[in-house]
């Protein structure tokens, strides 16, 4: 009995140790990003490495966020708003399409249902570079190059297969008897979706919204190729342009990265419980 108890304690200790290692591995880069953003260029490139700046240097945040005369700051602020517009619009469109599509895959019976769902997910797995030229030609023919609308449509093509997969698997975990009871009472199929399925699937919805926003917010390759002006560039592209041809202000890149990380971090902290439970339930079924 005592030996079993010791093994249990050892197992828990190993789990906590592994969690600590993972936590440090995830948090350390973000911590170093913050430190680099408030360090002088000399401190960042110093050898041996300085783990803490000799003096706090907050001018980069002032330049990026508030300086009206800085072209770098103006470009970054415009990119931040573009990213918000693209992210929110992509989430709204993807969730509307994903909810109805996922419900159809979860509840309706039709031939090759599972095969079609896997086919949609396969498009998400394709390397972005393989779709670059076809998407470029499509946007060019529609006159949507260097526009936020064109970027929203491209991001939706990436996000919708993911939301379909997450939501359809989660909808399958909702007992069909609840929906059948509502249908017997006279509720339409659409009414059952909004009154029964969606309220029961809130964790899955939160998880899908979170990851849809992250995919749109962090997308870089398509934004780099399909946009060229401040009117449509997003944050990843704006930060990449902080690097000059001959010199790079690593602190400025770090400051931009810290600011860009704030919206996803806030959303993740607010909805962390719903996101974890939604992903767990969506991964078990199907």
Domain-embedded: residue 4: no
How far out from the chain centre does Cα 269 lie? 14
Assigned token pair, 38: 């408030």
Average pLDDT over residues 164-188: 81
91 against 185, higher pLDDT:
91
Residue 183: give the domain boundaries: 58-284
> Which of 136, 140, 151, 163 has its CA nearest to residue 86?
151
Q: What is the pLDDT of residues 220-249, one digit of tens each?
A: 999 999 998 888 999 999 988 887 655 677
Rounded (5°) CA angle 90-96-101:
115
* CATH number, position 124: 1.10.3720.10
Q: Tell me if 253 sits within 8 A of 242, measured CB to CB.
A: yes
**Residue 106 pLDDT level (bands cut at 50, 70, 90):** confident
Please give the DSSP secondary-structure letter assigned to residue 197: I
Domain-embedded: residue 121: yes
Query: Which among 62-71, 131-140, 188-197 has the top mean pLDDT?
Result: 131-140
Which pairs from 246-252 meet CB under 8 Å and 24+ separation? 249/41, 249/60, 250/36, 250/41, 250/44, 250/45, 251/36, 251/37, 251/38, 251/39, 251/40, 251/41, 251/44, 251/57, 251/60, 252/60, 252/63, 252/64, 252/72
Domain-embedded: residue 219: yes
Q: Write the burial class of residue 238 (CB in 10 Å: 0-12 exposed, 13-18 middle, 19+ buried).
A: buried
Domain-embedded: residue 13: no
Rounded to an integer, what distance in angstroms lies between the CA atom of residue 152 and that of residue 157? 9
Domain-embedded: residue 270: yes
**Residue 47 pLDDT level (bands cut at 50, 70, 90):** confident
Residue 185's pLDDT is: 77
Rounded to an integer, what distance in angstroms lies between the CA atom of residue 20 and that of residue 14? 10
Q: How many domains does the chain have?
A: 1
Q: What is the pLDDT of residues 3-38, one digit of tens each?
A: 666 677 777 888 888 888 988 888 888 888 888 888
Can you spell out the DSSP letters for 210-271?
HHHHHHHHH--HHHHHH--STTT--HHHHHHTTB-SS-B-HHHHHHHHHHHHHHHHHHHHHT
Q: Write the burial class of residue 241 (CB in 10 Å: 0-12 exposed, 13-18 middle, 19+ buried).
A: middle
The answer on pLDDT for 286 being more than 70 is no
Domain-embedded: residue 46: no
Domain-embedded: residue 31: no
Domain-embedded: residue 96: yes
107 against 275, higher pLDDT:
107
Average pLDDT of the chain, as a whole number: 83
């Amino acid at each position: 009995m005592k030996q079993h108890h010791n093994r249990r304690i050892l197992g828990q200790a190993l789990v906590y140790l592994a969690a600590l290692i993972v936590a440090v591995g995830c948090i350390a880069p973000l911590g170093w990003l913050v430190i680099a953003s408030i360090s002088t260029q000399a401190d960042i490139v110093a050898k041996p490495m300085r783990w803490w700046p000799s003096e706090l240097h907050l001018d980069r945040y002032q330049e990026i966020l508030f300086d009206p005369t800085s072209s770098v700051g103006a470009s970054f602020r415009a990119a931040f708003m573009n990213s918000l517009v693209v992210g929110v619009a992509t989430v709204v469109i993807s969730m509307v399409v994903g909810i109805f599509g996922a419900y159809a895959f979860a509840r309706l019976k039709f031939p090759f249902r599972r095969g079609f769902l896997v086919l949609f997910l396969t498009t998400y797995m394709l390397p972005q570079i393989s779709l670059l030229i076809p998407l470029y030609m499509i946007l060019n023919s529609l006159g949507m190059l260097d526009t936020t609308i064109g970027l929203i449509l491209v991001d939706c093509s990436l996000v919708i297969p993911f939301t379909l997969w997450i939501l359809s698997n989660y909808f399958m975990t909702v007992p069909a008897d609840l929906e059948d009871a509502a249908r017997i009472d006279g509720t339409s199929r659409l009414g059952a979706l909004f009154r029964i399925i969606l309220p029961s699937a809130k964790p899955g919805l939160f998880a899908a919204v979170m990851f849809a926003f992250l995919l749109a917010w962090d997308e870089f390759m398509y934004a780099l190729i399909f946009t060229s002006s401040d009117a449509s560039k997003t944050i990843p592209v704006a930060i990449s342009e902080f690097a000059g041809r001959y010199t790079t202000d690593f602190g400025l890149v770090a400051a931009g990265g810290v600011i860009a990380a704030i919206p996803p971090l806030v959303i993740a902290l607010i909805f962390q419980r719903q996101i974890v439970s939604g992903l767990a339930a969506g991964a078990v079924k199907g």
